[in-house]
Amino acid sequence: MPGIGVEQSAQYVRDGFVILRGFVPREQIAGLADEATRLLVECANHISPDNLRCRFQPDVETGEPLFEVFDPVCDISPVIQAFAEDRQILEVMSQVLGEPACLFKDKLIYKPARAKGYDLHQDIPLNWPGFPRTFHTLLVPIDSMNQDNGCTVLYRGQHERGFLALPGTSGFPLPDDCVREEDAVALDLLPGDIAIFGGLVPHRSAPNRTNGPRRALYLSYNAESEGGSMRDRHYREFHEWMRRRTTGDANSRLRFW
Ligand SMILES: O=C(O)CCC(=O)C(=O)O
């Protein structure tokens, strides 16, 4: 796997993200695709609104809940765990962070056909004490990602504005008019390409309008100097927060966001 060159470093600083084409070897992507399929089959009986690692999105045509993401995924997948902590993956994240990188969060998003997609947001929550400011995400498409299947859309250069949430709001979602569509960059990626973006880069995604899933890993890391390895603590806090936010209402148990 190649690393980040001078031009890409400059692009990253300017835009808040960088795309590296052909970074992951084809055989490794095939292994991740097989693993994504295996998890769906072998965990089928555990995919439920009562399982805190599962989230759902509405079908844009019927409103029916569609299973969308395992978060976390590394602890149920030795293959994905090994990928997330592969020496070359950690190296490229360390290049971006300027120091050793620690895995913080790991999601396998399936985005099945007709899943709604994500409203505009920044990944670092405004009001979450201890959430690392050095949070950066490595996006690894398993299937091609494009405008038809609801690729992630990043807003170029907008990380420099800091938090965009209005005072007193959670920041999820952000108001659509806090960014300009002329700054939007749709991540058109092939399996093997990766994108790395910072936690303050506003982003969103549209529904998957194709007939197949759009699978991708979203692996997030923090700089070692900002608390070291915090993944276990993060998931304890995250799941506690999800339990608190769950009401008697069926939709809150489905965790549609
Ligand atoms: O996969 C997508 O459609 C977008 C995912 C996203 O924005 C996120 O996980 O923060």
The CATH number of the domain holding residue 21 is 2.60.120.620
Assigned domain for 11 exists:
yes
- 169 has a pLDDT exceeding 90: no
Specify if 21 maps to a domain: yes
The two tokens of residue 193 are 């390409």
State percent of the chain over pLDDT 70.
Answer: 95
- Residue 212 domain-assigned (yes or no): yes
pLDDT attached to residue 1:
46
Per the structure, the complete domain to which residue 229 belongs is given by 6-246
**Whole-prediction pTM:** 0.95
Does the Cβ of 110 fall within 6 Å of ligand 1? no
Residue from 68, 105, 118, 188 whose mutation best tests the ligand 1 pocket (most atoms within 8 A of CB) = 118
- Position 166 pLDDT exceeds 90: no
- Looking at residue 244, what is its pLDDT? 86
- Could you identify the atom of ligand 1 that is nearest to the CA of residue 214? 1
111 Cβ below 6 A of ligand 1: yes
Task: Say how many Å lie between the CA of residue 58 and the centre of ligand 1.
Answer: 15
- In a domain, residue 62? The reply is yes
Average pLDDT (181-208) is 98
Closest among 88, 84, 104, 92 to 221, alpha carbons compared: 104
Mean pLDDT of 214-241: 97
- Whether 253 is in a domain gets the answer no
Using one digit for the tens of pLDDT, what is the confidence trace for 121-162?
999 998 888 999 999 999 999 999 999 999 999 999 999 999
The β-bridge partners of 191 are: 193
Percentage of residues in the chain with pLDDT exceeding 90?
86
**Number of domains making up the chain:** 1
